[in-house]
Chain A
């Protein structure tokens, strides 16, 4: 697979949304997420030869994406930028996610649903990084508890409790919506 440009392109096409979504939720910044997604695929491109097929490729990709996001979250420039952005932008979603294209005026029911989606995203964005990871992997990416445990490097019990706690926190934040 290594060196095969078309195969790599197919691989990127298949997984780019997954990686980008994870980066968006974990970083909470669409522009950073795009840059980081490309970085993830560059890492994949570099280390594809080293992939030993001990786990599924998607799990391996999740691990790379999680580690890259963790590194970016702890980097000083990102933290400085995040503080500055949070000070400047104070809109509903905080510019954390790419805007939904406003191609047509939304119907009343759609508007309510869209409003709720924004609230849910914001609630997820307010979680701690650990809780964000498990919620994204479980409820958005649909990974099993065991896969999440493997990707995050935590034991199954920790993953279970973190998912339960994260869901309760989101529920609390969505009260009244």
Chain B
């Protein structure tokens, strides 16, 4: 037997638990190996010492303390015992506390994300247009843009039908025009912003309004160079530039809204109402009465001169009125009223009624179904101009533009289509 094996068996040998064969082999080895014999002697002494340690007596008062604890254990209710069992072991207590802390942290995080710093429910108004995804931006602007939400789709369909791709507004038009409007509304209705924002989030609201809305076209207020020619001028490349401009504009507007005192451009896309009987039209267009009286005078003079012009035919009046307006147009433009399907005369009369100046009037396309009128309107009278224009056409009032102060002339680009 080797010494390693012998040393492993010494403990069992001391306890007298070795098998007969192992015991004989070990005893034979111990007679020949002094080291293992010495090891056995030392180990036996150690075991003897451990045995001699004996039991340790409990301290005085052990029984009394135990009795007191047991009495307390009996008197405590079942609920208390359950609670103490549940929470006393730290294996249970610590994970439970950690889970509770995590739950509280999650709740606080959700509350902070939902409730804004002012204490009311946070809307996405604080998000800049660059940060907000397109859908989120639309949802955010719902209180102001719900009207043109669905109609813009119908408008797009109409444009596709007419093949006027250039007339399509850029995707960012909506945000570009509505960010200032949104901020203006925020200024006006700051106390009620929370309620409005929550109302705007409800998806059913725009759907319900969509049904009740008439066909209203979108407006946009943004600085844009006036094209030298007609409607087909804006090219796709320009669209990209405009888009970038509008993004910058919307970003700037989201930060602050300075009052515009210099000349600015207002773009309107209007739909003319169906032509009304001449008498009603005249009643609506007070400034046109002056023109018509002049035309009547000219007609009477022509009759006196023997030209045979009809005196009071509605067409004649309309024609003369068109000519009167046409006198202000730059040379080389097509005759308005001859082949136009669009009633631009009403628009022109409105322009002149607010002391505006007609810059250009183009009716493009073979059908002449769409016209572009560019005019300059004194800034302080823009509101009056738009109000009068709304009497003869349908469009969405550019509230954001009206909320700004305009001292100088405002260039108004009006895209007109006939209903």
Contacts across chains A and B counted by CB atoms under 8 Å: 97
Beta-carbon contact of B42 and A38 below 8 Å: no
Does B211 have its Cβ within 8 Å of any Cβ on chain A? no
Does the CB pair A13–B10 fall under 8 Å?
Answer: no
Task: Judge if A16 is at the interface, Cβ distance under 8 Å.
Answer: yes
In the complex, chain A residues whose CB is within 8 Å of the CB of B65: 34, 38
B47 close to chain A: CB less than 8 A: yes
CB-contact partner of A12 in B51, B59, B63, under 8 A: B63
Q: Tell yes or no: A66 within 8 A of B by CB.
A: no
For the complex, give the distance between the alpha carbons of A62 and B70 in Å: 20
Q: Does B69 contact A (CB under 8 A)?
A: yes
> In residues 1-50 of chain A, which contact B (Cβ within 8 Å)?
9, 12-13, 16-18, 20-21, 24, 30, 34, 37-38, 41-42, 45-46
Known: A164-B10, A170-B46, A171-B42. A16 touches B53 (CB 8 A): no
Specify which chain A residues have a CB less than 8 angstroms from the CB of B15 in the assembled complex. 138, 145, 163
A106 interface hit (Cβ, 8 Å): no
Q: Which residue of A lies closest to B50 (CB)?
A: A139
A85 — which chain B residues lie within 8 A by C-beta? none
B57 CB within 8 Å of chain A: yes
Q: Are B43 and A17 in contact (CB under 8 A)?
A: no
C-alpha spacing A93/B231, complex, angstroms: 102
Question: Would A45 and B10 be within 8 Å (CB), given that A98-B56, A139-B51, A171-B43 are in contact?
Answer: no
A16 near B90 (CB under 8 angstroms)? no
Chain B 49-69, CB within 8 Å of chain A: the 1/0 string? 111111111110011011001
* Cβ of B11 under 8 Å from chain A: yes
Most chain B CB within 10 A, of A9, A41, A145, is at A41
Contact of A164 among B12, B42, B51, B54 (CB under 8 A): B12
Taking CB atoms, residues of chain A closer than 8 Å to B50 are 120, 124, 135, 139-140, 167, 170
- B58 near A16 with CB under 8 A, answer yes
Name the interface size band of chain B. Answer: 20 to 34
Whether A160 sits at the interface, judged by CB under 8 Å, is: yes
- A76 near B51 with CB under 8 A, answer no
Instruction: Please provide the chain B residues from 1 to 56 with a CB less than 8 Å away from any CB of chain A in the complex.
Output: 7-8, 10-12, 15, 17, 42-43, 46-47, 49-56
Query: Across the interface, which residues of A come within 8 angstroms of B11, CB to CB?
Result: 160, 163-164, 167-168
Roughly how many angstroms separate A17 CA and B47 CA in the complex, as a whole number?
21
Contacts of A124 in B (CB 8 A): 50
Contact B56 A97 (CB under 8 A): yes
Q: Using Cβ atoms and an 8 Å threshold, which residues of chain A touch B10?
A: 164
Contact residues in B for A112 (Cβ distance below 8 Å): none
Bound-complex Cα distance A13 to B11 (A): 33
Given A12-B66, A21-B56, A167-B11: A42 in contact with B73 (beta carbons within 8 A)? yes
Q: Residues of B contacting A138 with CB < 8 Å?
A: 15
Q: Check: B95 CB closer than 8 A to any chain A CB.
A: no
Among residues of B, the one whose C-beta sits closest to the C-beta of A35 is: B65
**Among the listed B42, B46, B55, B70, which residue makes an inter-chain contact with A17, where contact means beta carbons less than 8 Å apart?**
B55
Q: Is B89 an interface residue (CB 8 A)?
A: yes
Where the two chains meet, the residues of B that have a C-beta atom closer than 8 Å to any C-beta of A are 7-8, 10-12, 15, 17, 42-43, 46-47, 49-59, 62-63, 65-66, 69-70, 73, 89-90, 94
The 6 closest A-B pairs by CB, nearest first: A164-B11, A139-B50, A21-B55, A17-B55, A20-B58, A21-B56
Between-chain CB contacts (< 8 Å), 26 pairs? A9-B63, A12-B66, A16-B62, A16-B63, A20-B56, A24-B56, A34-B58, A34-B59, A34-B62, A37-B62, A38-B65, A41-B66, A41-B70, A71-B89, A75-B89, A75-B90, A97-B56, A98-B57, A120-B50, A139-B50, A140-B54, A160-B11, A163-B15, A168-B7, A170-B46, A170-B50
For the A-B complex with A20-B62, A98-B59 known, give 6 more contacts whose Cβ atoms are closer than 8 Å: A17-B58, A20-B56, A38-B62, A160-B12, A167-B46, A170-B46
